Chain A
């Protein structure tokens, strides 16, 4: 069984400042790791994913994440946020393609 812990439920940040969203997972098998974003009143959209290989993964909209196997973490970062990055962000883990286990989500609010 897998579980995901997102360590921050809310992250307020000023425009053009960096942001880091923390995600830890537990699993007894090799997993695939994902970050999804949900803009207000919309469905989920994939930001990036880690399957294997390089531990630094680049995604859309300037986001990147680093996989750390020893710390079982997959933290998401963006060096400079925009107002349009205001959204809820979900970390998810899976060992197949049809069952995702999600964290509780982190709400990012970007202020001018």
Chain B
């Protein structure tokens, strides 16, 4: 059981380039989310998904696209990289279950992205 995996671990892009950050989970979780972590700002939600085929915007969605074609995978696409997107990106997943919520989110190890 690998949990939440992310690739690559590190990436350097030039301004204007595009790329996809990969995220996969093997826990059959319905919910998946992408966050970015910046110093002094904690983690901010970029996009999230409540199930295959369903995605929605979070707090800071501009410049990013997502799709969820399977339960396991939730890739994050940077359309045209900008220096402001230099950050550490975390993918997370959680179980929907029934009844009350409050299920924890499981986080991947992160992707450190630098845009020059």
Contact = CB atoms under 8 A, between A and B. Distances in A.
Contacts of A52: 100
A1 B26 CA distance: 31
B53 interface: no
B43 A46 contact: no
B42 A32 contact: no
B107 A44 contact: yes
Interface in A6-50: 6, 9, 32, 34, 36, 42-46, 49
A83 interface: no
B90 A44 contact: yes
A102 B107 CA distance: 14
Interface residues of A, number: 27
Contacts of B50: 98
B105 interface: yes
Interface in B2-47: 4, 31-33, 35, 40-45
Contact of A100 (B41, B45, B49, B109): B45
A52 B33 CA distance: 24
Interface in A68-112: 90, 94-105
A102 B36 CA distance: 11
A51 interface: yes
Contacts of A6: 42
B58 to A, nearest CB: 7
Given A9-B40, A104-B40, A99 B109 contact: no
Given A43-B110, A104-B41, A99 B33 contact: yes
Interface in B81-116: 90, 92, 94-97, 100-105, 107-110
Q: Which 4 A/B pairs are nearest by Cβ-Cβ distance?
A: A102-B42, A98-B31, A32-B102, A51-B102
Interface of A: 4, 6, 9, 32, 34, 36, 42-46, 49, 51-52, 90, 94-105
6 contacts: A43-B109, A43-B110, A44-B107, A51-B102, A100-B45, A104-B41
